[in-house]
Amino acid sequence: MISEDQPQSQFLKVSRLNSIKTKIIAFAVLAAIIPSVSMWWVSYVQNRRFLSEKINQELMDLTAQVSREVDLWLKERLYDVRVFSSSYVVSENLERIFLKDSKNVESGVALRRLMDYLRSVRGKFIAYEELALIDPRGKTVASSADQLSPIKLPDKWLGAAQSGKPIIGEPYQDDTLQKAVMVIGEPIRGAQDRLLGILVAKINFRTISSILRVYDQGETVELHLVTLQGLLIASSQSARMESGTLSQAAVRRLFAREKVPVRYTGPRGNAVIGTLKRVPQLEWGIVAEKDAEKAYLQIIRLRNLTLLLVTAVLLAIGLCAYFLGLAMVRPLGLLTRGASRVSAGDLEVDVPVRTRSEIGYLTEVFNHMVARLRQGREELANANEALREKNKELEQLSTTDSLTGLFNRKHLMEKLDIELGRSARYQRDFTLLIIDIDHFKRYNDTYGHLAGDEVLRRMGAILKKSIRKSDYAARYGGEEFIVLLPETGAEAGAQMAERIRRRMAEEEMGSDTNRTNVTISGGVASFPDYGEEAESIIKNADAALYEAKKRGRNQIIIAGDRRKEKKQKAR
């Protein structure tokens, strides 16, 4: 008699589904293929929305970056003009022109100096086409250009100048220069805050075009700078101003829907997707546009990528199911999770041994390995901590004088070079003090070297308490000390040295039965008045110290006043 289950068993035998490994593989493949195919179909619906959001975000990010760059460009131009207008050459010579008769020789000299100054400044900056001085009546007083061209000032420029505000004009096409320019200006005031005129700069958009080309992404995204009136100032594909290449309707929609993608006809006559971001302080906008046809070609790439991902997922899951079916899944999963925790740095892992098979033996070895790693990490951490402490001690010993606790001479010379570079770069003063303990050898011979060491330590403690946090003190050698006072002139440095001298003179040295006072002498020299190199500054300060010793010690002397010598030579 044939059983009813016999055909089913025969099917399972032929298809090999009676194997646990095969069942796991079949279940894994079916479990993966159903959601994968569903995801593949859903991706067709979602791709267009996803791509539109991606394009929008890309254009928004790009316009935001370029808008910040253009705003920074304008701020730099306004700052340049403010610096040019604040020059003493401009205000002094304008005063001479207005106070003297125009036929006077002095007035002519002043005018020539102004024109030389404007031409000199104009030649150093490519962003400026012309620099001109305009009087309050709007008349050009002086210009850097050989051939004068009309300057289009904004309607309320005089009111802005009288209130001390910068003047910002609208971009326009200069027929003389044959290029797009805009006018910015800065008021110039003379004695009693009287308005002498304004310094006007015609600036081109060459730098903006360079900025747009930096952010240009070739044929993918094109950038434009447009005004509220639809004037195309610059483009990443052309340095020329192409007026009217964007339609008024497109410009109005872009400004009305800022940061929102707008579909319109681009400068090349093709359909594009563009996003606009306004430039602060100006009625300008940065437009980033992308060819619509090329943009949505990515949907096909996304579809192919989705198919590839589905295939890869099916293959990966099938392989994983095949290898997982070769053994017991749960013990291996526990071991895998334990290994993952160890790879993440967690060594507090103890995987339970639930079988005496090869996997169980492997689990025991794994637990033993983790224990050894945990022990090794602790030992390594202790060794690293000890090494860090030793490094700190070595670093301190290499830069510090062991007796006084101050920095040593090697560290002093490094610090002095750094301070010289910083002060030269920012045009700041700093003062160097050389302090020497008076009659220190006699004190050593009288009271012994231990007492002399105590004097040096007391001197170091007084220096630490007397100087500011920004100041620097070091032992230069023997009984000589050097103090650096950043942002301090020679007179202020001498006052600081005098306070240190008085404080040292008040200290009593020696034993309880034999107390005495120790005095110091000091020399003061500052940068750059007494030298622009370390050797010259130290030499001048040391000469002042020698002079203090020569005059009887216990006093502070400033090095010979070289500033007076410089002034006499200049005269």
DSSP secondary structure of 35-88: HHHHHHHHHHHHHHHHHHHHHHHHHHHHHHHHHHHHHHHHHHHHHHHHHHHT-H
DSSP secondary structure of 468-512: -TT-EEEEEETTEEEEEEET--HHHHHHHHHHHHHHHHH-EEE-S
Cα–Cα distance for residue pair 360/165, rounded to 1 Å: 82
pLDDT at 558 (0 to 100)? 92
Of residues 343 and 488, more confidence is placed in: 488
Enter the tokens of residue 122: 């104009």
163 has a pLDDT exceeding 50: yes
Which of 159-168, 327-336, 537-546 has the weakest average pLDDT? 327-336
pLDDT at 121 (0 to 100)? 85
304 has a pLDDT exceeding 90: no
Name 571's Cβ contacts closer than 8 Å, sequence gap at least 6: none
Read off the pLDDT of residues 358-368 as tens digits, 9 standing for 90 and up. Answer: 777 777 777 87
Average of per-residue pLDDT across 343-356: 75
pLDDT at 128 (0 to 100)? 86
Average of per-residue pLDDT across 483-502: 91
Cα 528 to its chain centre, rounded Å, is 30
Contact 542, 434 (CB under 8 A): yes
Phi, psi of 546 (to 5 degrees): -60, -40
524 has a pLDDT exceeding 90: yes
Cα–Cα distance for residue pair 46/120, rounded to 1 Å: 61
**Mean predicted lDDT score pLDDT of the chain:** 79
Read off the pLDDT of residues 395-436 as tens digits, 9 standing for 90 and up. Answer: 666 778 888 888 988 888 889 999 999 998 998 999 999 999
pLDDT at 225 (0 to 100)? 85
Q: If residue 311 lies in a helix (H) or strand (E), which one and from where to where?
A: helix 298-324
pLDDT at 397 (0 to 100)? 66
159 has a pLDDT exceeding 60: yes
Residue 271: DSSP 8-state: E
Read off the pLDDT of residues 67-80 as tens digits, 9 standing for 90 and up. Answer: 888 888 888 888 88
Read off the pLDDT of residues 177-191 as tens digits, 9 standing for 90 and up. Answer: 778 888 888 888 877
Read off the pLDDT of residues 107-135 as tens digits, 9 standing for 90 and up. Answer: 778 888 888 888 888 888 888 888 888 88
Read off the pLDDT of residues 7-43 as tens digits, 9 standing for 90 and up. Answer: 545 544 544 555 555 666 677 777 777 777 777 677 7
Cα–Cα distance for residue pair 463/133, rounded to 1 Å: 56
Long-range contacts of the stretch 438-441 (C-beta < 8 A, 24+): 438/518, 438/519, 438/520, 438/521, 438/549, 438/553, 438/554, 439/553, 440/478, 440/479, 440/518
pLDDT at 436 (0 to 100)? 92
Read off the pLDDT of residues 176-227 as tens digits, 9 standing for 90 and up. Answer: 777 888 888 888 887 777 888 888 888 888 888 888 888 776 667 888 888 8
pLDDT at 432 (0 to 100)? 93
106 has a pLDDT exceeding 70: no
pLDDT at 546 (0 to 100)? 93
Global model pTM greater than 0.75? no
